[in-house]
Amino acid sequence: MSAKILYGKDFAAQIKESARAEVEKLKNNFNLTPGLAVIIVGENPASQVYVRNKHKTCEELGIKSEVVEMPASTSKDELLKKIDELNADKSINGILVQLPLPDAIKNHSEEILNRIDPLKDVDGFHPVNVGKLVTGSPALVPCTPAGCIEMLDLAGIEIDGKRAVIIGRSNIVGKPMLHLLMAKNATVTVCHSHTKNLAEVTREADILVAAMGKPKFVTADMIKAGAVVIDVGINRIAPKKLVGDVDFDAAAEIASAITPVPGGVGLLTVAMLMKNVVTAAKLQIGA
């Protein structure tokens, strides 16, 4: 069997197109131009690339984008003050603090992220949004797992009644993925570094999500024939070589559909961020 390859760019384009249409509606019906503020502290080169990419995508879709650059010497209190200002700013609907924070304030990351108004928390990391996701209320959901679900929907892949297995239990991928898949009526198992007989569990999956950060860890013998394999992992194994958590070539022989790395799930994240900015704006005006 040779799997259908789920290319992220195709789905990202569709997600962005629908966000662009929503932005137009907000402008026309509510005279509201959604605004995103991204705070970047220090000069981490990878973070600068990500922030530029977010800014560019906002511009493409007609979303107002404000990049707040703060020096690496910024104190926790200065950063909290900036977040308070943006929380109060009516022209800003979404706020994101680019991670990682510089070493001097890294230990305060949780307190800093929790200062963001939950209605503007477009990363979906605030405990209020986590709680809403768990209880099934409308929430801002972390972009990467939300993007995976959107992709499955757009690809016409049924989730209802399926056995789903997630490898990884992080707050930004594994745990939200559990709740999103469960809300779609999948029967979900979450595996992690203490799981015994991992391959036995993963072989039960109709939908297998790998989010562990271990290059090519998931081999073909861990996959049920015909499964849908979503590879969230991004692992740099050489200066210019990225691979996922799944041994792609071998897995593509046995799966029915699979995401590549690079070029798969990674491309959905910024598109979903744009969607979250629109969702935040709508939640704020009760639309």
**Site residues (vs ligand NAD, CB under 6 A):** 144, 167-170, 172-174, 191-193, 195, 198, 211-214, 232-235, 265-266, 269
Q: C-beta of 264: minimal distance to ligand NAD in Å?
A: 8
- What distance in Å separates the CA atoms of residue 219 and residue 252, rounded to the nearest whole number? 10
Residue placing its CB nearer to ligand NAD in the complex, 34 or 174: 174
Q: C-beta of 170: minimal distance to ligand NAD in Å?
A: 3
Which listed residue (16, 82, 98, 216) is catalytic?
A: 98
Which residue minimizes CB distance to ligand NAD?
A: 170
- What distance in Å separates the CA atoms of residue 179 and residue 131, rounded to the nearest whole number? 11
Which listed residue (54, 82, 120, 282) is catalytic?
A: 54
Establish whether 48 is a catalytic residue: no
Which residue stretches of the chain are H helix? 8-30, 45-61, 76-88, 103-106, 109-113, 127-135, 143-154, 174-183, 198-202, 248-254, 268-285
Q: C-beta of 62: minimal distance to ligand NAD in Å?
A: 23
Establish whether 241 is a catalytic residue: no
**DSSP code, position 101:** P
Q: C-beta of 119: minimal distance to ligand NAD in Å?
A: 23
Establish whether 249 is a catalytic residue: no
Q: Structure tokens of 233?
A: 């992992």
Which listed residue (121, 123, 231, 245) is catalytic?
A: 123
Residue placing its CB nearer to ligand NAD in the complex, 35 or 260: 260
Residue placing its CB nearer to ligand NAD in the complex, 90 or 240: 240
The set of residues, in sequence order, having a beta carbon less than 8 Å from that of 153 and lying 6+ positions away, is none
Residue from 182, 189, 155, 124 nearest 10 by CA? 155
Contact 150, 14 (CB under 8 A): no
- The residues annotated as belonging to the active site are 54, 98, 123
